[in-house]
Amino acid sequence: MHVPMKIDDTAGSLKRAHRPYVLATVVRTVAATAAKAGAKAIILEDGSIAEGWIGGGCARGAVLKAARDAFADGQPRLVSVQPEDLLSELGVTPGEVRDGVRFARNMCPSKGTMDVFIEPVLPLPELYVLGASPVAVALADIARRFGFRTIACAPSDDQGAFAEADERIEGMLLPANAAGERYIVVSTQGRGDEAGLTAAASATGAYIAFVGSRAKAASLREKLAVRGLPQEALDRIKAPAGLDIGAVTPEEIALSIIAEMISIRRSSVRGHEAGNAASDGAKTDDRKLERAEPVPGDAVSTLQDVTPQAGRLTTRLMAPLAAIAALLFQPAASNSALAGTAERAVPDHELLLRLHSCCM
């Protein structure tokens, strides 16, 4: 009776502390099993069970292995623990994944079957915005709408520029570690460029970028290299930040950066889905749009094999993209300005294909 409340309390404490965990839920049992449908457990990164119970050793090994994999790729999965004779009847081997289900062998004499859903609950990705330029302020505002926890890093006198931020750091000294996946954008734009780049180069992150031209970034890299910063750390900083969508205004530039961050954030999901498709024997449609891996200093949104369906794709995506633009940029006059800039910069179908490649 009290286990669900304890599960909820423990989950809430872990979320408030920005600590990752896996929620394992028994969704189906057949024959004799220690745990029954509805049993839950919270599993931590070290493999310990913080709260709850999902049975004894018969299923524990398979569940903990699935939990480790879920921590690694952030994807939920379903594990079916069955006796060996049932696995043989299905024509599957322990560890095999079929139709999204990973099969495992139950070695216990009870020979029961138990299906367990593994759901990772990971901290939000963190965006550290260095600087208080108009682009920095727009980026911090937009990022929160796309599920990023934003940390404004700027002098105390400039913190008032950020209407909302999940956390504030006075100055540009970044913490050594982050609770979630970390993204860093230096948008000082002439006010603390070297300090911002020094902090970014000294940190680690899934994405580190500088709002500025390639020429300006190259000049700053040279200065910082002379001061002793490792060249490989400086080369990890992408400049200019964001996808090339012809952005002009601070809001447009912020949107291009968010699109690039989402592209990187979701690349692991696409890789996971591709891996599952391969293991299930699915055939790859070589007419799909693919995104090249990011190379420091280069555009990330390279499109390969643009299909002849681009016209229909443009029509299909126009409505949802217009809705996104209307949500992000108000009043309506701003939408017109954004559309006009995009049309002058690149053809409509190319812009939409780029956004589709990074965000879908």
In a domain, 287, yes or no: no
Q: Calculate mean pLDDT across residues 230-259.
A: 95
Q: Calculate mean pLDDT across residues 212-240.
A: 94
In a domain, 221, yes or no: yes
Q: Based on the domain organization, do 129 and 277 belong to the same domain?
A: yes
Q: Based on the domain organization, do 178 and 210 belong to the same domain?
A: yes
In a domain, 63, yes or no: yes
Alpha-carbon gap, residue 277 to 35, rounded angstroms: 31
Q: Based on the domain organization, do 252 and 312 belong to the same domain?
A: no
> Mind listing the pLDDT tens digit for each residue in 9-56?
999 999 988 899 999 999 998 887 888 889 999 999 999 999 998 887
Q: Which of the listed residues 68, 92, 121 is the one where a domain comes to its end?
A: 121
In a domain, 127, yes or no: yes
Q: Based on the domain organization, do 108 and 169 belong to the same domain?
A: no
Taking the complete model, does pTM exceed 0.85, yes or no?
no
In a domain, 60, yes or no: yes
In a domain, 288, yes or no: no
> Mind listing the pLDDT tens digit for each residue in 173-191?
898 877 678 999 999 989 9
Domain count, the chain: 3
Q: Based on the domain organization, do 68 and 139 belong to the same domain?
A: no
Q: Which of the listed residues 100, 121, 142 is the one where a domain comes to its end?
A: 121
Q: Based on the domain organization, do 45 and 31 belong to the same domain?
A: yes
In a domain, 220, yes or no: yes
In a domain, 211, yes or no: yes
Alpha-carbon gap, residue 360 to 356, rounded angstroms: 5
Q: Calculate mean pLDDT across residues 224-237.
A: 94
Q: Which of the listed residues 121, 149, 180 is the one where a domain comes to its end?
A: 121
Nearest to 199 by CA among 130, 297, 126: 130
pLDDT higher for 342 or 137? 137
Confidence class for position 205, pLDDT limits 50, 70, 90: very high
Over the chain, what is the mean pLDDT?
78
**The pLDDT value given to residue 291:** 34
> Mind listing the pLDDT tens digit for each residue in 280-311?
444 334 333 333 333 343 333 332 333 333 33
- Residue 136, domain extent: 123-282+293-299
**The pLDDT value given to residue 267:** 83
Q: Based on the domain organization, do 151 and 266 belong to the same domain?
A: yes
